[in-house]
Amino acid sequence: MHRRTLLKLGAGAAAGTLISAPAIAQSAPQIRWRMTSSFTKTLDITYGAGELFSRYVSELTEGRFQIQQFSAGEIVPGLQALDSVQSGAVEMAYTGMLFYVGKDPTFALGAAVPFMLNPRQQHGWFYHAGGNDMFNGFLAKHNVIGFPCGNTGMQWGGWFRTPINTTDDLKGLKMRIAGLAGAIATRVGVVPQQIAPGDIYPALERGAIDAVEYIGPYDDEKLGLSKVAKNYYTPGWQEGGTVFHVIANTAKWAELPPLYKKAVEVAAQATTTSMLAHYDTKNSEALLRLVASGVNVSVFSPQIVQTMYGAAQEHYAGLMGSNEAFAAIYKSQKEFRDRNYLYHQYADFQYDGMMLQLLRKV
């Protein structure tokens, strides 16, 4: 091959390199977002889930899409995370959608409502029964898009200064209780308080509240709740499993390249799996420590559970008749729950019951 021909080929190859480089840069630009959290850094699983999600996004985009998380109070208070994303003050938030029932009770259906889905059912509904699309149809009206990004597993019923035997013991009780559970508890005389996670212990310690439900043994131990209240109740009728979300401003989301959007979705789903496994590991260890420290673990009486269940059905009936978005999502979740339990009463429930009986005989 002649030297002149080689030079022409070399020039053409160089030109091709110069042309393709900007195309690559345009499809994978350097982007930095801020994400405010509803949780403080002391809550290492919930706050840590936001950090894990951010790390996954960075790794999946080879460091081109960076999301920096800020704890509750650093940019805005924990319960104002949604507002900050709606306004565009930050691009993203890590939060629990049940914190925003004051805006619309439908928000709670994205996280947990009393006597509804357990974690397995939540994941099935969101990922394979159209739940995420349905919930995002609702979120779009509030200028955000969201993805499940964590699950606490079944939450516990709460900490009480004195034993709770009947619903009469609940009357007049000032209790930190989140989401729709607060409105339902009101029907039996509880005085609900919406308090951000980082402010729960001070409120309990100084007597501003008499009782509190948060998540479960591990986080509750972290918050020091057993130092003030010694009566710990199960099951968490108010939240059979609580989904957390990453939410993004819709305009900012629209600007992202498709690859980055997919990275967010994949990272969020991976974080959901990780958080549930993390709590399943840590809660059992923490419960043993709490019992050893003198905490009284009790099961809510059938009378309390039945009364709460009745109050929940009445509350849902009222919302179904007045809130179209709530009615559509609730109906979808209820049908999924009922169908799912038809199966699991012969599957997981039988296996778990069998194992518990066998272990008791050992």
- Confidence (pLDDT) at 110: 98
Q: How many CA atoms lie within 13 A of 97 on its CB side?
A: 30
Mean pLDDT over all residues of the chain? 93
Q: Whose CA is closest to 117, among 340, 301, 304, 299?
A: 340
pLDDT tens column, 339-360 = 999 999 999 999 999 999 999 8
Find the mean pLDDT for residues 166-179. 95
- Confidence (pLDDT) at 237: 96
- Confidence (pLDDT) at 2: 46
Give one word for 31, left, alpha or beta, with left for phi > 0 and alpha for psi -120 to 50. Answer: beta
**Range name among 9-23, 97-111, 147-161, 321-335 with the lowest pLDDT average:** 9-23
pLDDT of 12 > 90? The answer is no
Whole-structure pTM value: 0.90
Give the β-pairing of 211-212 and 243-249.
Answer: unpaired
pLDDT of 148 > 70? The answer is yes
Find the mean pLDDT for residues 97-110. 97
pLDDT tens column, 292-339 = 999 999 999 999 999 999 999 999 999 999 999 999 999 999 999 999
- Confidence (pLDDT) at 318: 97
pLDDT of 41 > 50? The answer is yes
Cis peptide before 235, with omega less than 30 degrees from 0?
yes
pLDDT of 6 > 90? The answer is no
Higher pLDDT: 310 or 197? It is 310
Find the mean pLDDT for residues 270-291. 98
Kind and range of the H or E element at 91?
Answer: none
- Confidence (pLDDT) at 198: 87
362: pLDDT confidence band, cut at 50, 70 and 90? low
- Measured torsion, CA atoms of residues 77, 83, 84, 85, in degrees rounded to the nearest 10: 130
Phi, psi dihedral angles at 32 (to 5 degrees): -125, 125
* Residue 212 contacts residue 238 (beta carbons within 8 Å): no
Query: Measured between alpha carbons, how far is residue 342 from residues 43, 116, 300, 335 in Å?
Result: 36, 14, 25, 11
Q: How many residues in total does the chain contain?
A: 362
- Confidence (pLDDT) at 25: 52
**Among residues of the chain, what percentage have pLDDT more than 90?**
90
Burial classification of residue 31, based on how many CB atoms lie within 10 Å of its CB (0-12 exposed, 13-18 middle, 19 or more buried): middle
Domains, the chain: 24-151+241-281 (3.40.190.170)
Joined together, the tokens standing for residue 170 give 């609940």
- Confidence (pLDDT) at 344: 94
- Confidence (pLDDT) at 181: 96
- Confidence (pLDDT) at 10: 43
In three-state form (DSSP H/G/I as H, E/B as E, the rest C), the secondary structure along 220-289 is HHHHCHHHCCCEEEECCCCCCCCEEEEEEEHHHHHHCCHHHHHHHHHHHHHHHHHHHHHHHHHHHHHHHH
Higher pLDDT: 316 or 16? It is 316
Higher pLDDT: 292 or 197? It is 292
**Sole residue written with tokens 């199960």:** 234
- Confidence (pLDDT) at 26: 59
pLDDT of 20 > 90? The answer is no
